A and B are shown apart, each in its own frame.
Chain A
Amino acid sequence: MAAYLVKRILLMIPTFIGITLICFLVVHLAPGDPAELMAGGGLAASGGAGISLQKRAAVDQALAEWRALYGLDKPLYVQYGVWLKNLARLDFGTSFKDSRSVWAKIRERLPVTLKLEFFSIILVYIIALPLGIYSATHRDSLGDHVTTLAAFVLFAVPIIWAATMALVFVCGGDFLYLFPPGGLTSIDYAREWPIGERIKDQTWHLFLPVVLLSYAGFAGLSRYMRSSMLEVLRQDYVQVARAKGLSERVVTFKHAMRNSLIPQVTILAELLPGLIGGSVIIETVFSLPGMGQLGYDAVLARDYPIVLALLTVSALLTLIGILLSDILLAAVDPRIAFGRRSE
């Protein structure tokens, strides 16, 4: 096992270099100069007609100084080296926009996204696992077919459509006003509110985003659960349990379910990459100040340090997540031998 782990971790190094290289090149080779953009309407726009040569020189000097400040005047490979060195110390630099540390900005947004993802993952598991178990124990019944089809159709509903429909029909447009159209809390929300009120207000605001983030996951997980449950139900020890007269309930929930839950562990790792990229749409539509919105705004403003940090952190998390889930899988199920899973 140790040898396998060492090999896995060593192989992660070139992968991580590849990730950083792609992210860095994508961001730095794109046309457009962040210095000009930062200078905004004021400096850059007036760079054209109607500006004296003297002023133009001043503008250019300001831009050059700004580039030097962020190291953008150096050759690309030097910039990459510097960035990589800082990355190793988990230093992502400062935002172009407000010169605040990228870490601080991410830390500020992280709780929102974590909350969203945490609750939606819980919701997916709460709904999908029982569905999968039901489908497996009632194989080929009408209920099985209906839930399968419903989950499949739900999976095909584009999240941009679901979110817009929710916004139009239940968020206080011309139709129903069941949920707020955005934000984390009501405008008059205050820390002095009694705890019950605060939880109620937050739940009211988070409900739709969480549901929208999770509905597409029902299909996948319930299918996995179903097939893994079916596999277990076919095994001898389940027959033995039945033969010795245990009720079907005990057989299903005590004997079969436990073992069929094991593979579901790995799905958690697949959910990790969604942490940053996945919530962009929901956070933008419902104006939730999370990582997705931070990333989207940073992309539009060409805030390189933030974009780079989000891309690499997300990739690194995923890399670790895959490794963890492999280890976890082997830990909970000793029958799984290391190395075999790598195809």
Chain B
Amino acid sequence: MAAPKSPPPISAGAGVGPAALEVEQAEGQWSSVWKRLKRNPPALGGMYAILLLLAIAAGADFLANNKPYYMLYQGRAYFPLIRSGLVRFGLAKWQPELLNIDFKTVNAERKIFPPIPHLATDIDLTAPFETPSSAHWFGTDKLGRDVLAGLIHGSRISLSIGFVAVGIALVVGVVLGALAGYFGSWADLVISRFFEVMLTLPTFFLLITIAAMFPPSIFLTMTIIGLTGWVGIARFTRSEFLKIRSLDYVTAALALGVSTRKIMFRHILPNALAPVLVSVVLGVASAILLESSLSFLGIGVPLEAVTWGSILNEARSATFAWWLAVFPGAAIFVTVLSYYLVGEGLRDALDPRLRGMR
């Protein structure tokens, strides 16, 4: 039961689902969906939260870094943070006088640090398990690593796993669902067996198995979460294709001699995507949950990587360090909830008839 799945509809009809969507004209549909979504405060809130998270992930190096933005040192101005980025990409070299200095302790005339002057991986063995203070807003872990810096940099892993995994699931799911729905008969029969196999396999346990047996890597984790998470998308695509296939405009295209591939992906797919979008948004949430659960169990991501799940994991063996439990868990919760709210809002906005049932 604990295995993450898509949330139950917050609105009325559970059995109806997005599959009941009437096919509207593509342009008109999206703008009206957007209009309805804008009138839904929880969904809008979720959307802003996701945007904020994306901004944090994108700017992680500028928010939490152990190198100052600006440093006036022996009469010269330096921009160590920018330079460290250039060095990483091989575009520049460190100035020789900066090579072996510790930016935190160096006696410079003027230093401007990022708001959180630590990297996620900065180990400070003199300050393990610091309670939250002005030096470490969210405290430190057993190796003295700053928790807030860990959360900020960890957001990159969480969010990118969400997107990449769902990207993979989307490609697999849409292709298989489209084939099954468009061709029907034996293709449907065969592909539906695939659905059944994936549905009955205990996904979470399978994930643990694969992740634990291969050398830990974030890329592998993304891939297997994607490869085990496409069934929902495929089923929605299939039922949309089944429905749209028999519409007049498809028959017209067939009569005009349009190629099968073009009919499937140019004519049907754009109209079938709307309901799939809901499962994509919810899929991102479940991929994030799965990744954090895996790293919580200590599998799938390299030992030295700091992720939300791995910080939470530390709290298990240090139950006095409440900050190790509260903050990373809250980060996962807020992210997942935001995606759920947006997904729910989309579901409502895409199928206004459901709202009428309330």
By a beta-carbon cutoff of 8 Å, the part of chain A in contact with chain B is 11, 14-15, 18-19, 22-23, 26-27, 30-32, 117, 120-121, 139-140, 148-149, 151-153, 155-162, 164-165, 167-169, 171-175, 181, 213-214, 216-217, 219-221, 223-224, 226-228, 230, 263, 271, 273-274, 276-282, 284-285, 295-296, 299-300, 302, 307, 310-311, 314-316, 318-319, 322, 343
Contacts and interface: CB of A to CB of B under 8 A. Distances in A.
Interface of B: 1-3, 7-10, 12-15, 189, 193-194, 196-197, 199-206, 208-210, 212-215, 239, 242, 285, 289, 292-293, 296-297, 299, 309, 312, 315-316, 319-322, 325-326, 328-330, 332-333, 336-337, 340, 344, 357-358
A171 B319 CA distance: 9
A162 B202 CA distance: 22
A26 B8 contact: no
Contact of B205 (A152, A175, A311): A311
B7 A152 contact: yes
Contacts of A263: 15
Given A152-B344, A164-B325, A299-B213, 4 more contacts: A159-B2, A161-B333, A162-B329, A181-B319
A173 to B, nearest CB: 3
Q: Which of B2, B204, B309 has the most CB of A within 10 A?
A: B2
The 4 A-B pairs with the shortest beta carbon distances in the complex, nearest first, are A161-B329, A173-B319, A277-B202, A30-B213
Given A161-B333, A302-B213, A273 B340 contact: no
Contacts of A171: 319
Nearest to A219: B8
A15 B193 contact: yes
B138 to A, nearest CB: 15
B358 A213 contact: no
B213 A31 contact: yes
B312 A223 contact: no
Contact of A278 (B1, B209, B289, B332): B1
Given A174-B320, A223-B9, A280-B208, A311 B201 contact: yes
B336 A160 contact: no
Nearest to B235: A343
6 contacts: A15-B196, A18-B193, A27-B209, A148-B10, A168-B320, A296-B297
B333 A156 contact: yes
B320 A299 contact: no
B333 A157 contact: yes
Contacts of B330: 161
B296 A160 contact: yes
A156 to B, nearest CB: 4
